[in-house]
Structure 1
Amino acid sequence: MSPLAWRFAVRELRGGVRGFRIFLACLALGVAAIAAAGSTAEAFRQGLAGQAREILGGDLAATLEQRRFTPMERAAISKMGQVSWAVSARAMAEAPSGERRLVELRGVSGDYPLAGKVELQGAKSLADALRSVGGVPGAVVEQALLDRLGLKLGDRILVGNTPMIARAVLVQEPDRLSRGFALGPRVLTRLQVVEEGGFLAPGLPFGETARIALPAGADTAPAAKQLTKALKGAEARVRQRDEAAPGLRRLIEQLEYFLGFIGLASLVAGGLGVHGAVSAFLEQRKPVIAVLKALGAEGPLVRNLYLIQIGALALLGVAIGLAIGAAAPLVLGALVAKDLPIPALFGIYPLPLLKAGAFGLLSAAAFALGPLARARLTSPATLFRHDLPTRFAWGIEIVGAGLAACALAALAVATAPTPLAAAIMIAGVVVAFAILWALGLGGAWLAGRARIGARGSLRIALASLAGPRSAARTAAPAIGLGVALLAAVVLIQSSLLRQVAEVAPRTAPALVFTEIPGDRVTAFDAALTKAFGVPLTVDNYLRAPFATGRISQINGKAVVASQIARSERWAYDNDISLSAIGAEPPAAGIVEGHWWPSNYAGPPLLAMEAEVAKAGGLKLGDSVTLSVLGRDIEAKVAVLRKVDFGGFGASFPLVLDPAALEGANLRHVAIAKASKAQEAAATRALGVDFAEVNVISVREQLEAATELFGRLALAIRGAAGVAALAGLLVLAGAIAAGAQSRMREAAILKVLGASRGQILSVYVLEYGAVGVVAGAAGVALGCAAAWPVVTKVFQAHWSVDWTGIAALVGGAALLAALGGLAASLQALSRRPAPALRSE
């Protein structure tokens, strides 16, 4: 660029940023959203990384399910460093009043924790809280258990058949995040107490974890390989400290991308504001451009002159957005850091800011270079006639805009945790934007045709909609895109919230009973019938044997988990639940095949979940080898079925005929539909003769999920509102860009006899129509985007929140109409004579 272009650009920039406020706001809004999402996610990642050792409970952890480590395995683990041992099980806790509740019971060795600190209320230390007094061991419990059972510290509780004294409230365990979801409040006691209480008997669901503190300076990666080799064949899960919470890391990445995507969509929606602001600015500079060209300035000089100014202002807008985005997590940390369930290290991180800045600059280039091409290629005579062409002319500017748009999409895909999903979302935004643009053009065309038969204010409003500065061409796409994002979020939220709060309680069981003794099932059914006060039928009660097994071979060949689709790999690389059922159960969901007779006694037959079978390439008649209870069973696939894992039915991925497991004394599981009163009565009654049976309240889990989902959805809906705000900024920009011409139009109408009320109605009708069209189109596109997410990704029932939809369309129309009202008041603020004389 020549020094002359820089000199002229700096001179014009001295006049300030008037006319570029919308430009700056659109850029700053999108960049701030992307920067805030990235910075917040990085704060959580750094928090997890900084406390990885505390979260895991050591440098390494090895976990076994359904059995304990052998003496040889213990010796190999102990050689690696200091070791803390812990066992976990589920049991029913009972208060002296008879109230009972399922708890997550943990027994820990004396050197727990190796890293971090257990936070307690009511005791000086963990050792002091867990000591035995009068032969009764101590325990620390969560406040939720005390509240549910009506207890206070110092009271005695019965966990299974083991008495304990609640001596302290468990506030926080350093390794809680690494252990995942819990079905009930946590109870922590000494390892010996759990061992002697019978919670670790063969066949019961329990696990044991060894946490290892390596010697100072030891590298975890070689140590993890050594530990894996030492436990070869033990089916143990070995983790390093940087793998303490992989599920949380994935969740943070996905949430960062989703919120960042909303920011990117805001940038795209606000791109129209950028485009409009640059076009309006060049419209105002027509006399300057005309003089420069008349004096011999060439097109490149004109382009560079304004490119420098727009580039400088783009940098300013991006800087404002980065400042807001960097500050937002710091404010969040100051307000809610103590209430966050995940450790976070709030600060200013360069990488998320650099990424947000790149998004902002590419967006500015993609939308601002086009108008520069029109200015460069327009002759001085045309400029003096105030007639800038509306069509783009091919040139280096258009090529640059296209390259910037492609780079914007490529950056979004490259930085996403799932590139394919990112590409689909980017393509969806592009298609939606194109549809909304086409609808805007179509709306302007229809308005031009409809004005022929209209009269009065409506005719003038339709004529304005059909004109070259119509808001239908400029603001409608941006408003529609913002409404589409909000609609998609609202519809996904309402469908999933309804699934959790309404559909699931109707279709899912209210209670799940586990660890029912196989030799006492008749007595259990009788006790439950008495507690419910109504007969047990297939409509309100189902019971079946329960076991776990692993698919080891398919058609005689060993299973290679890496060759199985990732979505179904869980069924092939872990033990999964199975049952042995005679007659066809209710709602069996058979897709192919026929269920065996209730008295079948031939070679083993298997009913398999259809998607699991498809992932393994299985069909009817194929053979599957299952490792169950220490022996291999080769069964023929006789039934393929669709299993509703959250519904009221036999929700086992694998079901064998009863003869296949004959002689095995299997424990049973049962599900029941019950009212809250029946649930309380059954929980209390089973404590007398079936204290070992775990009672899981599905209703409580659904209520907790509803509350959690409601909080998360509110935050995401607020983030989606950023895109809608970008649309409103574009509307404001369209109003500001056409302010001068609107004043002249209003002045002419007043001279011709139009009243203020008529002029006001013209503007309200024009912009209100834009809001209605953009809102309706945005809602339709939001429905199209939300439906596959709800039905295919979450596999939930589709439902439409008509109240929310009506609010979105009405809100878009109202806000657009208010924008029209503001435009009309601005146009009417000047008297006709000065407005008509002004140039």
Structure 2
Amino acid sequence: MNASKKLKSKAVSFIWISRMAWRDGKASWNKLLLFMASIILGIAAVVAIQSFGDNVRHNIVSQSKSLMGSDFKIDTDKPPKPELLAVIDSLGGADAKEISFPSMAAFKDNDLTKLVRVRGIEGAFPFYGSINTDPKEAAQNYQLQGTALVDATLMLQFQLKPGDSIKIGNIVLPIGGALKSVPGSSSFFSAVAPPVLIPYRFIEPSGLVQTGSRIDYDFYFKALPKTDLDALDDRLDPKLDLIDADIDTHTSTSRRLGRRYENFGKFLNLVAFIALLLGCVGIASAIHIYIKQKLPAVAILKCLGATRRQTFLIFLFQIAVMGLIGGIIGTALGLGLQYLFPLLLEGLLPLNLEINVSVKAIFIGLSLGLSMSVLFALYPLMGTLHISPLQTLRVQEEKVTRSLRSGLLVVLGIILFIFTFSYWLLERVSYSAMFVAGIVVTFFILGSIATLFMNAVKKFFPHSFGFIARQSLLNLYRPQNQTIILVLAIGVGSFLISTLYFSKDLLLQQATLEDQSNSPNIFMLDIQSEQKEAVEEGILVNKLPVIDNIPIVTMRIESLNGEKISDIKKDTTSQVNRWILNHEFRVTYRDSLIASESLVKGTLPESMDSNTPIPISVSDNFIEDSKLNLGDEITFNVQGVLINTVIGSIRTVDWSRMQLNFMIVFPESVLENAPQFRVISTKVNNEKESAQLQQQMVSSFPNISIIDIQKILDVVQDLLSKISWIINFMAFFSILTGVIVLIGAVRTSKHQRIKESVLLRTLGAKNRQIIKIMTLEYIYLGVLGSLSGILLSLIGSQLLAWGLFDAVFKPSWIPFIVIFPAIAILVIFIGMTNSIGVVKSSPLEVLRKENK
């Protein structure tokens, strides 16, 4: 019975609280709308990324077979061993097979050349998905008719058409059609080396499978229904590792591809989450001023018998409802925004996206709207708990007091929430902790800058300035000033956008050719030893320099410190990185360091002793992955010949420099007689010289592959530009959120500005003077906030350059000459737009409106 009465009492209490919240909210709906708007864009950004990410993962899983073209494949980068062929036979034989390699292609009808990826296919590949060509029948007929399918973009670029001819090595084939898409081709690598499909039977006559050639052998399989591909992978992978081969199933490939795009999605989620956090700062600011204006009403309620808990819950209920509404609107907006992403990511995703509504994203949006609005409003709401009923009789406002313990708990709750959410996104405690620390430090620095600025103005106030200048400076530290909240809103937005620009420049700087006369931009690969002099002569005839002529020998590791690689592969406790055990190393030999290297430990050998292991020099990242050190022994297998070596020195290699760098370097007088090929580099001054040189070399030496580094850098730059555009699009949400927070801060302090305006005009100030005062104040705030954010991003980007990229940071001027003035002008415009109505109206009219 008592329990029933208590339940009924709680229900009545809830109804009364909700009614009081509704009645009070109707009178203040415009202020609460601004509070709600602060979180809408942040929620929209998070929901859009979450929903789109779920769609990408779902599409990758559903289209995984079409992306690979088969259920699984076995691949190797060296001629298949009998043991590998035995494994393939045990599976019933491959349903299709492929040999692929990069090669120069010449087009006989227009004398143009291009580095392409030749894919020689035999069988009915692909089993899933399709080869998309123009005309359509070319995909079905190319093997039977002996034609080539050439990348559609390449055909458009070189003005080719079906019936034209393509020369690959020693063979000339007619072009059967334009290749639009084919399973197994990456969009990025296709931009560097476009795919060309030819029948498998033409690979051997081409003469391109030679010493040093980078050949991939793939065997495709169509599995029986209900085949457990993961179990097949677990069973075959250890066996294949021992014979230098690997198995890829469509399920493992889809997981790997999903993780690749998931990592990018996590970064975008963090950008969106920062926009949401910025909106939460607006919530705290808006609720702080809103509650301050409601304190007299709270005091009256307490005089009428309302408890502290009831008055607290009235406003908490208001905020929770508005947060939920904000979550609904933001979620709906985010679900709509995700339909723009396929357009933004055009060319970056290797699949056709079908966009659907994600239930998980909807739940996230609604829960974020409710939880974050309540969480960030708790601290200002605590001011209602300690308001005395006597406040109704006092003219002077009392200082709002709060429990220190409660305040600390709220702050800890906010930090814990941010950490939990970031951990859910990043799935690593260390990354989440760094993200939270970065957010806290950024907000703390910007808040400290604003506080120091206010204190400096107050302490060193320029009393000699004119009335307008003095009054504008006084507004920066007057009661209910906007300095801290606006500097935070403006600073975080500026910080995000500027950091993105600086980071993009840093990445592009890593992929930029050094402007030096001896920096090569053309590399010629797969040059056989007997072709060396003729290739050099061909370069010199064109009045171009021969910068490098580097010998390369391919080899694999046979044993580490006497332990065979096959035994290490079987040892599940071994910490040696797997790629070390399976990799075919390309090494060179010389007696000195080059510009991109510096010696860390040991010395380069001055002479050779045939009775001791050969001293070699290895890179520090090889040491890290192989778990070896100075003095450890490595046995290499060079085309069946075993060579015993010892690590004599360790080098640090700058892999970002555009020159050939090597993990392993042998001394001279060791590998000269080993099977090898050459890489020769030169530097051309323009695209015309590059085309002319490539045409001559491919005509004389069909086996040579030529890489135009500038073309690759153009592709990389285009890719980075697309990615940075997407990131900027997401960061724009932060700027828009900052604008809303700015509008909210200006409008919530409107009451205070009305009083000032009335007082100033009563004392004789003119409208023109008041407008100038406000304009100067917003100039101070806009300049301080945007400049602080840009300078802070400059420091952060410099730290990134030192700690992560190990590069010299050369910042872009765009944040200083575009972002800085643009945000400052935006702040002035918003501030004056929201304040001009106060100035134009008469004091009595404004006061009457305010008291309605």
2:127 alignment partner in structure 1? 114
> 2:126 matched to 1:101?
no
Secondary structure of 1:545 counterpart: strand
2:551 alignment partner in structure 1? 545
2:813 alignment partner in structure 1? 802
2:310 alignment partner in structure 1? 301
- Given that 2:72 and 2:248 are in contact with CA atoms closer than 8 Å, whether structure 1 keeps it comes out as yes
- Given that 1:606 and 1:657 are in contact with CA atoms closer than 8 Å, whether structure 2 keeps it comes out as yes
**CA RMSD for the aligned pairs?**
2.9
Deviation of the 1:780 alpha carbon: 2.1
Secondary structure of 2:631 counterpart: coil
- Given that 2:103 and 2:703 are in contact with CA atoms closer than 8 Å, whether structure 1 keeps it comes out as yes
Secondary structure of 1:509 counterpart: coil
Whole-angstrom distance in 2 between the partners of 1:635 and 1:409 = 50
Deviation of the 1:692 alpha carbon: 0.9
Match of 1:718 among 729, 750, 764: 729
1:131-530 matches, cutoff 5 A: 131-132=144-145, 137-147=146-156, 149-177=158-186, 183-201=192-210, 203-228=212-237, 231=240, 233-245=242-254, 248-333=257-342, 341-382=350-391, 384=393, 385=395, 387=397, 389-394=399-404, 399-400=409-410, 402-453=412-463, 454-501=465-512, 503=514, 509-530=520-541
Q: Deviations over 1:406-427 (max 9, x none)?
A: 1232121133154422321221
Match of 1:42 among 50, 54, 57: 54
Deviation of the 1:390 alpha carbon: 4.4
Secondary structure of 1:105 counterpart: strand
Q: Does the C-alpha gap of structure 1 residues 121 and 831 become closer, same or farther in structure 2, counting only changes over 3 Å?
A: same
- The farther-off stretch of 610-619 and 94-103 is 610-619
1:720-739 matches, cutoff 5 A: 720-739=731-750
Matched residue type, 1:399: L
- Given that 1:254 and 1:417 are in contact with CA atoms closer than 8 Å, whether structure 2 keeps it comes out as no
2:778 alignment partner in structure 1? 767
1:630 alignment partner in structure 2? 640
- Given that 1:142 and 1:186 are in contact with CA atoms closer than 8 Å, whether structure 2 keeps it comes out as yes
- Given that 1:155 and 1:166 are in contact with CA atoms closer than 8 Å, whether structure 2 keeps it comes out as yes
Secondary structure of 2:555 counterpart: strand
Match of 1:64 among 71, 76, 81: 76
Q: Deviations over 1:774-793 (max 9, x none)?
A: 11221122123222334443
Q: Does the C-alpha gap of structure 1 residues 744 and 11 become closer, same or farther in structure 2, counting only changes over 3 Å?
A: closer
TM-score (normalised: structure 2): 0.91
Deviation of the 1:576 alpha carbon: 2.9
- The farther-off stretch of 417-426 and 268-277 is 417-426
Secondary structure of 2:476 counterpart: helix
Secondary structure of 1:169 counterpart: strand
- Given that 2:97 and 2:121 are in contact with CA atoms closer than 8 Å, whether structure 1 keeps it comes out as yes
Q: Deviations over 1:123-158 (max 9, x none)?
A: 5142313333xxxx3111013433455532101221
Q: Does the C-alpha gap of structure 1 residues 513 and 794 become closer, same or farther in structure 2, counting only changes over 3 Å?
A: same
2:139 alignment partner in structure 1? 126
Secondary structure of 1:285 counterpart: helix
Q: Does the C-alpha gap of structure 1 residues 558 and 22 become closer, same or farther in structure 2, counting only changes over 3 Å?
A: farther
Matched residue type, 2:135: G
Q: Does the C-alpha gap of structure 1 residues 502 and 814 become closer, same or farther in structure 2, counting only changes over 3 Å?
A: farther
TM-score (normalised: structure 1): 0.92
Deviation of the 1:764 alpha carbon: 1.2
Q: Does the C-alpha gap of structure 1 residues 563 and 323 become closer, same or farther in structure 2, counting only changes over 3 Å?
A: farther
Whole-angstrom distance in 1 between the partners of 2:84 and 2:350 = 38
- Given that 1:591 and 1:640 are in contact with CA atoms closer than 8 Å, whether structure 2 keeps it comes out as yes
1:20 alignment partner in structure 2? 32
Q: Does the C-alpha gap of structure 1 residues 291 and 436 become closer, same or farther in structure 2, counting only changes over 3 Å?
A: same
Deviation of the 1:306 alpha carbon: 1.1
1:613-652 matches, cutoff 5 A: 613-652=623-662
- Given that 2:386 and 2:402 are in contact with CA atoms closer than 8 Å, whether structure 1 keeps it comes out as no
Q: Does the C-alpha gap of structure 1 residues 15 and 469 become closer, same or farther in structure 2, counting only changes over 3 Å?
A: closer
Q: Deviations over 1:357-414 (max 9, x none)?
A: 4444332233101121101211122355462534533465763453243123212113
> 2:837 matched to 1:831?
no
Deviation of the 1:444 alpha carbon: 1.8
Whole-angstrom distance in 1 between the partners of 2:837 and 2:574 = 65
Q: Deviations over 1:275-300 (max 9, x none)?
A: 12222332333332121111121111
Secondary structure of 1:93 counterpart: strand
Q: Which runs of 5+ in 1 are unaligned?
A: none
Deviation of the 1:341 alpha carbon: 4.0
Q: Does the C-alpha gap of structure 1 residues 296 and 149 become closer, same or farther in structure 2, counting only changes over 3 Å?
A: closer
- The farther-off stretch of 34-43 and 376-385 is 376-385
- Given that 1:766 and 1:820 are in contact with CA atoms closer than 8 Å, whether structure 2 keeps it comes out as no
- The farther-off stretch of 670-679 and 695-704 is 670-679
Matched residue type, 1:747: V
Deviation of the 1:770 alpha carbon: 1.3
Whole-angstrom distance in 1 between the partners of 2:392 and 2:433 = 42
Whole-angstrom distance in 1 between the partners of 2:719 and 2:517 = 20
2:7 alignment partner in structure 1? none
Whole-angstrom distance in 2 between the partners of 1:388 and 1:296 = 21
**What is the identity percentage for the equivalent residue pairs of Structure 1 and Structure 2?**
22
Deviation of the 1:165 alpha carbon: 0.8
- The farther-off stretch of 627-636 and 89-98 is 627-636
> 2:683 matched to 1:673?
yes
> 2:89 matched to 1:83?
no
Whole-angstrom distance in 2 between the partners of 1:550 and 1:72 = 18
Secondary structure of 1:799 counterpart: coil
Secondary structure of 1:165 counterpart: strand
- Given that 1:24 and 1:317 are in contact with CA atoms closer than 8 Å, whether structure 2 keeps it comes out as yes
Matched residue type, 1:801: S
Q: Deviations over 1:400-457 (max 9, x none)?
A: 4532431232121133154422321221011110111122222222222233523311
Whole-angstrom distance in 2 between the partners of 1:173 and 1:161 = 25
Q: Deviations over 1:593-644 (max 9, x none)?
A: 4333488867422111123224445444332333333343221222322223
Matched residue type, 2:679: V
Whole-angstrom distance in 1 between the partners of 2:634 and 2:343 = 56
- Given that 2:152 and 2:178 are in contact with CA atoms closer than 8 Å, whether structure 1 keeps it comes out as yes
- Given that 1:483 and 1:808 are in contact with CA atoms closer than 8 Å, whether structure 2 keeps it comes out as yes
Matched residue type, 2:134: Q
Match of 1:745 among 756, 775, 783: 756
> 2:594 matched to 1:594?
no
2:619 alignment partner in structure 1? 609
Whole-angstrom distance in 2 between the partners of 1:507 and 1:305 = 74
Secondary structure of 2:684 counterpart: coil
Whole-angstrom distance in 2 between the partners of 1:806 and 1:683 = 42
Whole-angstrom distance in 2 between the partners of 1:215 and 1:393 = 69
Whole-angstrom distance in 1 between the partners of 2:369 and 2:574 = 41
- The farther-off stretch of 789-798 and 434-443 is 789-798
Whole-angstrom distance in 2 between the partners of 1:627 and 1:356 = 58
- Given that 2:100 and 2:215 are in contact with CA atoms closer than 8 Å, whether structure 1 keeps it comes out as yes
Whole-angstrom distance in 2 between the partners of 1:391 and 1:753 = 37
- Given that 1:605 and 1:656 are in contact with CA atoms closer than 8 Å, whether structure 2 keeps it comes out as yes
Matched residue type, 1:121: D
- Given that 1:552 and 1:627 are in contact with CA atoms closer than 8 Å, whether structure 2 keeps it comes out as yes
- Given that 1:337 and 1:344 are in contact with CA atoms closer than 8 Å, whether structure 2 keeps it comes out as no
> 2:67 matched to 1:55?
yes
